[in-house]
């Protein structure tokens, strides 16, 4: 399209896609067809709905043992590719929220002493009195709070238990599950998930 903000370059590199389904997280290894500063084009074996959130590790190196950065993105389009079960998958990187924002789409001024820092990583979340967790993705952290994207409904004031897949990379330190309290719930623009803001609870 002529209206693209960034020029595309044909580049074939491995990438890892992670998204949240109603039954937990799913991961797909894919290969780019072209790359720009604003997004990527893949061939994918999965059908993705436009507007859905996912997280991309690009380029992805399966031989590295340490955690590789994941970047939040949204599906722009997904089209069938001929008769084989493959699709063209175009994604656009999500703009990171400014540090002066409280994660509520800029409607409220930042009330924290420390601004949030973007960090996407897999987490496990469960209500305090429920043994079953959901797999979610963090969005950003401050020393006392964080936001994550969820498929579940949470109520303001609800107490949660949060565990990190890689505790060494987390901005919150502590072993096992960390107790947190829900302070904000906002629907995502696609309406299929919510962004949940929590603070650490004593």
pLDDT digit string, tens, across residues 52-69 = 889 999 999 988 877 788
Instruction: Write out the residue range of the structural domain in which residue 22 sits.
Output: 9-93
Confidence at residue 100, expressed as pLDDT on a 0 to 100 scale: 41
Which of 172, 158, 165, 164 lies closest to 127 in space, CA to CA? 158
Q: Report, in angstroms and rounded to the nearest whole number, the Rg of the chain calculated over CA atoms.
A: 18
From 58, 93, 128, the end of a domain falls on 93
Number of domains in the chain: 2
The predicted pLDDT at position 83 comes to 65
Q: Is residue 34 part of a domain?
A: yes
Residue 17's CATH number: 2.40.10.220
- Looking at the fold, whether 74 and 37 belong to one and the same domain comes out as yes
* Domain end call among 61, 93, 125: 93
pTM: 0.73
Kindly give the confidence (pLDDT) of every residue in the chain, 202 residues in length, as a single tens digit, with 9 standing for 90 and above: 445 567 788 888 999 999 887 777 889 998 899 999 889 998 888 888 888 889 999 999 988 877 788 999 999 998 887 767 788 899 999 875 444 444 444 444 445 556 778 888 899 999 999 999 999 999 998 888 999 998 888 999 999 999 987 666 556 766 688 999 999 999 987 777 899 999 998 7
- Number of other CB atoms surrounding residue 123 within 10 Å: 23
pLDDT given for residue 39 in this prediction: 92
């Amino acid at each position: 399209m002529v209206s693209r903000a960034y020029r595309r370059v044909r580049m074939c590199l491995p990438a890892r896609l992670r998204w949240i389904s109603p039954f937990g997280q799913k991961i797909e290894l894919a290969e780019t067809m072209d790359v720009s500063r604003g997004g990527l084009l893949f061939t994918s074996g999965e059908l993705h709905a436009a507007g859905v959130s996912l997280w991309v590790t690009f380029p992805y190196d399966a031989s590295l043992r340490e955690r590789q950065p994941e970047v939040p993105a949204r599906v722009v389009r997904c089209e069938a590719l001929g008769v084989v079960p493959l699709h063209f998958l175009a994604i656009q990187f999500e703009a990171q929220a400014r540090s002066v924002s409280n994660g509520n789409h800029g409607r409220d001024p930042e009330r924290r002493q420390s601004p949030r820092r973007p960090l996407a990583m897999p987490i496990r979340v469960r209500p305090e009195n429920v043994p079953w967790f959901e797999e979610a993705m963090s969005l950003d952290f401050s020393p006392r709070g964080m936001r994550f994207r969820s498929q579940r409904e949470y109520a303001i004031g609800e107490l949660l238990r949060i565990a990190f897949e890689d505790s060494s990379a987390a901005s919150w330190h502590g072993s096992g599950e960390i107790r947190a309290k829900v302070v904000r719930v906002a629907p995502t623009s696609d309406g299929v998930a919510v962004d949940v803001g929590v603070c650490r609870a004593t």
